[in-house]
Structure 1
Amino acid sequence: MNSKSDHDVGSLPAWAQRSLVMQIFAQARALGGEARIVGGAVRDWLAGYPVGDIDMAVNLPIETVASHLLACDMRVVETGLKHGTITLYDNDDQIELTQTRVDLETDGRHAIVAHDQDWARDAARRDFTINAIYLDSSGGIFDPLDGRADLQAGRLRFAGDAGLRVQEDALRMIRYCRFLPRFAATGLDQQAQTALREHASLCTALSGERIANEMRQIMVGGRLKDVIGLMQDTKIDQAALGRSLDPSRLANDDEIGSMIAGLGANIDLAWLVNLAVAMPSGSAALLAKRLRLSRAEERCLTRLDLGLGTEDMTMLSGARWRQSAYYLGDMAALLFAVQSWRNGHALDASRLAELTLWAPPRNPICGADLLSHGVDNGPGLGQMLKDAERRWVTSNFTLGKVALLEWLFGN
């Protein structure tokens, strides 16, 4: 079957028959044009992966399309009109719709674009061949760059000249690293590797937010040692982050998978665990600023950077783990993973799960208990509460209120 054919027709898959998708197909036809699904949704469907967000393209000027859709009472948000993009909403569904286009000027971060109704020229300006596959309203596939063949062969190639593609948008180099585990089973494309090495310095001009969005996925995306190794070899890490990452310190995929699965409600912070392991000690402040992390992420990375001392790590690994976990709070499991790998040890997945699931008991002593025994409300009361809490924790949380009060007033 010719993968380049405009007439490679099949039935439209169920995931593509969402109401909003069908509305866009219909309204594009009403304007005398055509809309197609393109990018990650088509790629993942053909590769056998679950389909997530849907992006679409239309071979009409986006201003014309936006005005028409607004007149049809569709909800339109001009998220990137000067770049040829709008976002459409229908209840809980949303789709990014972009005009077919060519780049007039690029600076490594942003492009000045113009409408071009030619689908092949639109494909040629995309990042990778596997992201330049289109699905039309009848289920037909348009694949001018042989992206399906690359998917089937496990090849990850830039669309056209790799050097030009990364100069148009330097983020494409980091995206290549992110896509590597899933779509490059046959190994690195040599043209891509050369482009990454020659143009890595362009990553210094990228915004922290764009880099962080990629790193959040890279650091939990599989084959992490290979990916970080590529970033280190090409010096993308130094250019993008301001620090060189060390792949040799990272755990294998199985252990990282166990860590991610064992973090429970803290799963969104798993990427920071791997970042803390790979980054040089003392890098938290610089990386938090460069990546423009949220306050919660910055606090987490800062604490992970400090790591655990020998006593805390010994306690977390032994029978008295609850006593150390009590003081470490929600950070206990994250710190346990980081310090295990920094120490060159395999991660104890069962202990990680215990740390994640454990709910600390409530301190049986409070200020009112001491006030009722005649203790003045002042610094002394606070110190007595701390002493009682320490005694309670040391007892492995076995002492009750009566025993603790007896201990306090007996001292």
Structure 2
Amino acid sequence: MAHTARSAASRVFLVLLAAALIIGVLVAVFLVVDAQRAIRAEAERVTSATAIALANSPVVSSALAAGDQANATRVLEPYAMSIVEDADLDFITVMTTTGVRITHPDVEQIGRRYLGTIPEDPSPLTEVFTGTLGPSVRTIEPVTDGDGELLGWVAAGVTIESISETVIRRIPLSLAITAGLVVFGALGAWIARRITRRIAGDLPPGQVRDAVSSYESIRTLGDALRAQTHEHGNRMHTAVALLELGRSAEAIEILTETSRQSQSLVDQVTARRHGDPAVGALLLGKASQAKERGIDWRVRIEPDTPRSPLSVVDSVSVLGNLVDNALDAAADSDDRWVSVALSPSPEGGIVLEVSDSGAGVPEELSERIFTSGFSTKPGGTDGRGIGLALVKAVVDDAGGTVELFAHPTTFRVMLPRADTPRRPR
């Protein structure tokens, strides 16, 4: 069963949909990680603030200063538990200077030593430690009297499990945001697919490129033939006028010069073993365009130049776009000239070089000029940003290369042998 290539519109839809899914997943991961970070930071802030508040509470300091642990437990245990509930903490432990617990959510742990780091100096410390309730974010704060004498310690903490539960509660919101992004992305992909299908129909990308190449070939060949027709028309009108005035010698000279110029190029084209009539017609027409614009036209075609691996349409499109760019660049220079050279490569392929006397391409733009949609021409130029991108696409498909050189500005196209397998599109 024959394989049917996906249309350009379908590929655009799939690429954009995949991008929307990837972005959605990345956003979901970011939201979850950010939520976890924010909740942990909030836990550190709350435990620190609570521990500081309790350490400075007269109730706590007076109970510890009395030195009666049993009485301190009776006073501070309900006090600590009420704050645990109000502050949404998992535990508050008030302890002696040596770390013996006076309060704890599990009354069986009262009187045992605190599991955690007790600073050597009376200073606060926030850490993650595994205690009787599991791993937790906790802050320990010293309790001192008016003279700065250490009376005991207060530790407030939130378990990692509680932090995880809070993160889990936020996951539905993250998923809802992700789903919204994916839906909007899918809608955008669908709209892009409709727009692409309106432009390209159900053609696969390769055929879309062929259609653009065909259009460019017809355009550049049409411009060339128009210029040639216009030039010959002017010469014929001049010759007829001279004949009517009885100046037949001058009329013959004009017609002879026209024939001589055209014949020189025809001889170069037909001298090739594998000459291409369409390329020959294009070069003849471009010669007329160059003369019409006051540009010196130079062509050199080696007779042993092999057959091109490109189709006639692609050959005209590549050569025509390069020559059009060269003519536009040369038209803005003082020394106006354009040179086209066709010769065999050492590997048996073709070397096409199109040079001009223009100002050249800035080095920082040497790669971007081959990008679709980019152009150094004015915004109103027809086909803006298509020509060089199309040239590169055609040459790449054929397994060739396009290079840009300066001084003078030269585009060199290296094409492989005609029997070289083409790259799959």
TM-score by length of 2: 0.21
> Highest relative contact order (Cα 8 Å, sep 6+), 1 or 2?
2
Greater strand proportion = 2
TM-score by length of 1: 0.22
